[in-house]
Amino acid sequence: MLWRLVRLSSKPQRLFRRVFRYVMMNKAFFFSATALTVTSSLLGLVAPMVSGAVIDRVVAGNVSDIWVLAVVIVALTVFGSLIHFGSDIIGELLAQKVVYRLRTEIFEHLQNLSYSFYDKVDAGQIITRVTSDMEQIGRLLGFALPNLVNAFCMLVSVSCILLFQNRSLALVAFSITPFVAVISLTFNRVVRPFMQRVWTEVSKVNAMVQEVVAGFRVVKALDMGDEMIQRFEGRNRELYDIGMKTTKLSSITWPSLGLIMGMGTAAIYWYGGLQVIGNITSLGELVAFTMYLGMMTWPIMSIGFILTRYQRAMVSAQRIFEVLDTEPEVKESPDAIELPNLAGSVRFEDVTFGYDSTKPVLKGLNLSVSPGEKVAIIGSTGSGKSTLIKLIPRFYDPQGGRILVDNYDIKHVKIESLRKRIGIVHQDVFLFPLSIRENIAYGKPNATQDEIEAAAKAARIHDFIKTLPQGYDTIIGERGITLSGGQRQRVAIARSLLIDPSILILDDSTSSVDADTEREIYEALKELVKNRTVFIITQRLSTLKLADRIVVIEGGKIVEDGKHEDLLKRSGAYAKLYMAQFARQEVSG
Amino acid sequence: MSHHYHFHGVEAEGRPKEVASSVLARWLLRQLSPMKFAIAILIATTFATLALNMAGPYISKLIVDEGITKKDAESLLHYSLVLVAVAAASFALGFLRNYLTGFVNQRFLFEMRRKVFDHLEEMDVSYVSGERTGKIISLVTNDIEAIGDVATSGTMEVMIGALTVVGTIYLMVGFHLMLSLATFSIVPLMVIVSRYFAKKTREAYRLTREKISELTSNVEQGVSGSKVSQSFVERKEVDSITFRKVSGETMRANIRARLIFSLVNPSLNAIRAGSLAILIVYGGSLVASGEMSVGTLIAFYGYSEMFFRPIITLTTFYSTVQAALAAAERVYLFLGTKPTVVELEGSRDIEIERGEIVFKDVSFGYGGNEVFEELNLVVKPSEVVAIVGPTGAGKTTITNLIMRLYDPQSGKVLIDGRDVKEFKYRSLRGQISLVPQEPILFNDTVLNNIRMGKRNSSDEQVKNIISELGMDDLIKSLPEGFYTIVSPGGSNLSVGQRQMISFARAMLKDPKILILDEATSSLDPYTESMLQKAMVRTMRGRTCILIAHRLSTVKLAQRIIVLSNGKILEEGRHEELILKGGAYSKLYELQFGAAPIKEMEQALVTKI
């Protein structure tokens, strides 16, 4: 585990009990599946007895109604199979329902978790919890547990039958079982870890291939071909070595089992054979006995596999519950009110905040912004400007001080009603692999085509969209069209325009675009900032010009505050930063 | 009475499209030939195992008939011990067989992986790009394994299976022809049913894989866009509904697959039961009438068990082989693709003394798009040239041609008057450095990454170049300094840090020609200025080609070339071009529009 935001008991039994609570939400399924499994395994026990009876009849020469026994066997098999099938299906239904429920719970919980969670946790980890970890639980409940019930049933009932039929022979049979158990345990304890290591080496080999393919131009330019070959040889060889070690170990497992079974059968035949000769048992009983012995092997072997599966599934369960138990850091207070329509004033009162509470980035910051004001926040890297704006929509809560929007403390306002009124155009525009229309209407799923087009026109992207063969229905992303940086930004602007926010946060420090695009973006932004309170963070001169007030952050506090010309004249912090950041202009390419 | 029938390779799909199966089969045999000794022993042990397996039921027959029925305790003991001996021999043979199979498999995989990787290193840059990268990666991660599985253990299984079937038929018919025929009568039905199920199971599992893939995408999208979706609160409900829909579909796909999967064994067992019934009634009457001994009947039963199991495996083998051949075809075709940009015979180590670059009537295009038509370009020794122009104008292509990552269709690229084709790769690329826009580092220490710029450099030399470039602070800021390991994909370092390391790597070899391809475009202004300072320090005495968007970079050049659509529009010094009022000055002006900052600009111009 790479992180642990919540302390969770890692005892498999506790975890299982928790999973079992979900199982119990489907009582009917559980009990019927169990009943059917038990029935089908018990039915399976009848067959050897019938075979035994057949042998005896045959030996005695009494075959007149043997066909009855034949029919019985067929009927038993068919019936038993049907019941087994039924238990399989109900078991699977149960497993899938539990997994469905867990998946829904985790998804909805993830929607509520705050930024700090997503900062700490890597996307891949979250994805595995919703997919492969869930599958592990599904397989445990759908396959492993029913098998366990089956195996247990079989073992108990077969042992009883054997003991009942012929005690001395049964003891001979039981003397084999510890050996089978040992083989099964050894396989799990010893061989499986090796298989894990094989998998690790395979990943290393694959990672190297990926690395070389992705950086192929550089590999060639550096003429690193030979080195790469040597390095790969090393990894390839390690994989081979571990593969061979695993082969040596696993090669012996099944043959050992065969040996034990073979010796056991021989012993039974000999000892039982003597009994038949001495008229203590019939031949039929002996044959039945050997069949029962065969039926004991698989349950014993499978218990080992089931245990491993159980352990693995509980690891998955722990990972899933970890997320479910994580509380969002930004919580809505129970007496939160709905925010009415905003004029758009924002006030920071003595705000102190740090991602790590011991290292504050903002230190007692004060700022008051009137409705409709367009404020540019300037500072050097790490000064806290991006951090400041993240506090406004309550993506994080400050450690000290408070933030007010139209004189409402944002901590006492319903989070959704707050964020509805705030629009954000991010630095790295994130668009979804959906159609352009769906991307623009992302924040307002019920928007009409007219509304969408109006937003696109204002964002200066409508004309471009019209040039595309599928227009607004064109899909963005790998499966569709790749947009340039400037085009993406304009789609994001349209997206924000559509929700018509009272407060706008504009963070556009993207890399260079050509001059034509820059002008289009400027025009789009000009439209976007009309009649809203705007917070601007930018490296681009044209965007800076949209602001009517400049605020400079240094050391977690505001050090300068005023109009662009006035601040330049002062030759203070702003002038310095301006020279460093905006004096570098881009030549279009 | 019920068995677990196993479909070998149910999930495999596909078939070879271009290359004949016989060609592929022969190629595979050649790949296996280094292990022929092991394979020979393997085949021998397989035959021996078979013989022992066949013996098993026969010995039980002897135990019953000779020992038990005849009430001969001594024979009973005798044959029981024979059974033990057979079990012991089976054990030894089984172990040997598994080991050898594993060995052949591992060796096969090892050799294949090596061949593929070695060949990869020779390929053209143009081949290893775009769509193909995924396919190439898949060759190693999926295809080779798929071939290995079938070629080794799959083939063994089938061989044993086929021989077992033949052997048991022979023995059973030897015991009693009519009874055998009666027992075999259900085979056609079993074959039809198992092929039907194999196909259905394959489809059903493919569907579950698709759904899981959809689910993964949905979650991936949700997670990577989580910060955005939290900004757009109306989204919550919609996203939840979409997720539940995919989740529900996954659930249903899994249930459906299980349904089909669970039908397999019951169906086949039911059919088997029919055959067993026949055995009981018919066989029973034979024994009762004295035509057959009890022991024979029991043995017969044993053989029929041995017979039916491989039948199922064999019915699905054809499609498994096809899928493996499809994978083999992909590997075969890859290994057969020859690179076009190759080191020519007679190429030598040539030292670049002046660093003059000339493009003479160079025409080049790829994938049907023409990039240059008879381009002529000259870069003087130690000149610093900036190339500007819109995306797709051909700027990066120029750098690729200089480094001979591609060859022009016509015309020549000359360095110091010699065609780049005359250089040995090591010689050419050892004297020219490229710093691309996206810094690419490898999963190794920072020290070793930098060392890749000039192999066999000492640690001292690497540390010196860092100091010369003024990057000591950068290294200090890394968690383990020089010994920090760059993770795969470089995620543990910032873009700025990686680019600086990439630059140091480029400078380690003290190149005669330095190419910077939009090297600062991905950087924030602070890192950019650091890198530019380092660049300025080191540009003297080298021919430098700068491809850039940023004016600050372009202004470092002595000459600017404006490239558009593969043609040179203008070239000259910055001030000349501004005065000209042509393409360059237009690009430049577009940036400024409003006046107030102009004086600031002038001040900066004179400073640099």
Over residues A402-426, the pLDDT tens digits come to 999 999 999 999 988 898 899 888 7
CA nearest to A68 within chain B? B281
- pLDDT at position A106 is 93
Residue B75 C-alpha, separation from nearest chain A C-alpha, in angstroms: 10
Which letter, b or e, does each residue of A91-125 get, where b requires 16 or more Cβ atoms within 10 Å of its Cβ?
bbbbbbbbbbebbeebbeebbbbbbbbbeebeeeb
Q: How confident is the model at residue A510 (pLDDT cuts 50, 70, 90)?
A: low
Answer whether residue A443 shows pLDDT above 60: yes
Q: How far apart are CA A332 and CA A463, in angstroms?
A: 42
Count of alpha carbons within 13 Å of A220, Cβ hemisphere only?
27
- pLDDT at position B606 is 39
Q: What residue type is B31 in one-letter code?
A: Q
B369 touching A (Cβ < 8 Å): no
Answer whether residue A5 shows pLDDT above 80: no
pLDDT in tens, A127-148: 888 888 999 999 999 999 998 9
Task: Pick from A485-489, B197-201, B485-489 the range whose average pLDDT is largest.
Answer: B197-201
Count of alpha carbons within 13 Å of B513, Cβ hemisphere only?
29
Residues of chain B contacting residue A293, judged by C-beta atoms under 8 Å apart: none
- pLDDT at position B6 is 53
Query: What's the DSSP call for residue A337?
Result: B
Q: How confident is the model at residue B249 (pLDDT cuts 50, 70, 90)?
A: very high
Q: In whole numbers, what is the pLDDT of chain A averaged over residues?
A: 85
- Residue B475 · residue B449 · CB < 8 Å: no
A207 touching B (Cβ < 8 Å): yes
Task: Pick from A185-194, B158-167, B363-372, B576-585 the range whose average pLDDT is largest.
Answer: B158-167
Tell me which residue has tokens 């001059």.
A515
Q: What is the largest CA-CA distance in chain A?
A: 120
Q: Does A514 or B27 have the greater pLDDT score?
A: B27
Query: What's the DSSP call for residue A402?
Result: E
Question: Does the beta-carbon distance from A255 to B94 stay under 8 Å?
Answer: yes
- pLDDT at position B598 is 39
- Residue A375 · residue A549 · CB < 8 Å: yes
Q: What is the ipTM of this complex?
A: 0.82
Nearest to B8 by CA among B322, B272, B295: B322
- Residue A52 · residue A284 · CB < 8 Å: yes
- Residue A496 · residue A452 · CB < 8 Å: no
Q: How far apart are CA A113 and CA B465, in angstroms?
A: 46
- Residue B179 · residue B286 · CB < 8 Å: yes
Q: Does A183 or A25 have the greater pLDDT score?
A: A25
- Residue A150 structure tokens: 């089956």
Pick from B95, B110, B265: CB nearest A236: B110
Print the SS3 string covering B149-181.
HHHHHHHHHHHHHHHHHHHHHHHHHHHCHHHHH
B459 touching A (Cβ < 8 Å): no
Helix ranges, B294-370 (H): 294-336
Q: What is the mean pLDDT of residues A298-320?
A: 85
Pick from A255, A270, A542: CB nearest B77: A270
- Residue A322 · residue A148 · CB < 8 Å: no
Question: Does the beta-carbon distance from B235 to A443 stay under 8 Å?
Answer: yes
Residues of chain B contacting residue A227, judged by C-beta atoms under 8 Å apart: 452, 455
Answer whether residue B604 shows pLDDT above 70: no
CA A56, A61, A65, A66 torsion: positive or negative? Answer: positive
Q: How far apart are CA A30 and CA A37, in angstroms?
A: 11
Question: Does the beta-carbon distance from B230 to A232 stay under 8 Å?
Answer: no
pLDDT in tens, A66-82: 888 888 888 888 898 89
- Residue A85 · residue B210 · CB < 8 Å: no
A394 touching B (Cβ < 8 Å): no
- pLDDT at position B191 is 87
Answer whether residue A186 shows pLDDT above 50: yes
Partners of A286 in the beta sheet?
A: none
Pick from B93, B251, B600: CB nearest A583: B600
Residues of chain B contacting residue A545, judged by C-beta atoms under 8 Å apart: 594
Cβ neighbour number for residue A372 with a 10 Å cutoff: 16
- Residue A364 · residue A351 · CB < 8 Å: yes
Answer whether residue B570 shows pLDDT above 70: yes
Question: Does the beta-carbon distance from A111 to B236 stay under 8 Å?
Answer: yes
Q: What is the largest CA-CA distance in chain B?
A: 120
Question: Does the beta-carbon distance from A229 to B121 stay under 8 Å?
Answer: yes
- Residue A113 · residue B230 · CB < 8 Å: no
Distances (CA, A) of B239 to A443, A445, A501, B235, B280: 11, 10, 21, 6, 62
Answer whether residue A1 shows pLDDT above 50: no
Q: How far apart are CA B265 and CA B267, in angstroms?
A: 5
pLDDT in tens, B52-65: 888 888 888 888 88
Q: Does A296 or A501 have the greater pLDDT score?
A: A501
Q: In whole numbers, what is the pLDDT of chain B averaged over residues?
A: 84
> Is residue A479 packed enough to be buried (19+ CB in 10 Å), middle (13-18) or exposed (0-12)?
exposed
Residue A130 C-alpha, separation from nearest chain B C-alpha, in angstroms: 8
Q: How far apart are CA A497 and CA A484, in angstroms?
A: 20
CA nearest to A209 within chain B? B137
Q: How confident is the model at residue B7 (pLDDT cuts 50, 70, 90)?
A: low
Task: Using DSSP, state whether B433 is helix, strand or coil.
Answer: strand
CA angle B114, B117, B119 (to 5 degrees): 105
- Residue A377 · residue A385 · CB < 8 Å: yes
CA nearest to A267 within chain B? B80
B:495-554 residues touching chain A, CB 8 A cutoff? 505, 521-522, 524-526, 528-529, 548-552, 554
Print the SS3 string covering A116-157.
HHHHHCCHHHHHHHHCHHHHHHHHHHHHHHHHHHHHHHHHHH
- pLDDT at position B599 is 38
A:114-173 residues touching chain B, CB 8 A cutoff? 115, 118, 123, 126-127, 130-131, 135, 138, 142
- Residue B438 structure tokens: 């996206």
Task: Pick from B344-348, B462-466, B587-591 the range whose average pLDDT is largest.
Answer: B462-466
Question: What is the spatial order of strands in the sheet that B369-379 belongs to?
Answer: B369-379, B357-366, B410-415, B418-419
Which letter, b or e, does each residue of A391-430 get, where b requires 16 or more Cβ atoms within 10 Å of its Cβ?
bbbbbbbbeebebbbbebebbebebebbbbbbbbbbbebb
Residues of chain A contacting residue B284, judged by C-beta atoms under 8 Å apart: 54, 57-58, 63, 66
Q: How confident is the model at residue B91 (pLDDT cuts 50, 70, 90)?
A: very high
Helix ranges, A166-252 (H): 167-186, 192-214, 216-221, 225-251
- Residue A453 · residue A534 · CB < 8 Å: no
The H or E element spanning position B365 is: strand B357-366
A:230-249 residues touching chain B, CB 8 A cutoff? 232-233, 236-237, 239-240, 243-244, 246-248
DSSP state letters, B486-541: PPGGGTTS-HHHHHHHHHHHHHHT--SEEEEESTTTTS-HHHHHHHHHHHHHH-TT
Q: What is the pTM of this model?
A: 0.77
Residues of chain B contacting residue A78, judged by C-beta atoms under 8 Å apart: 270, 273
Q: How far apart are CA B339 and CA A301, in angstroms?
A: 53
- Residue B570 structure tokens: 């203008």
- Residue A69 structure tokens: 């026994």
Pick from A103, A123, A283: CB nearest B224: A123
Pick from B83, B113, B489: CB nearest A205: B113
B:262-291 residues touching chain A, CB 8 A cutoff? 262-263, 265-267, 269-270, 272-274, 276-278, 280-281, 283-285, 287-288
A255 Cβ neighbours under 8 A, 6+ residues apart: B90, B91, B92, B93, B94, B95, B98
Count of alpha carbons within 13 Å of B523, Cβ hemisphere only?
24
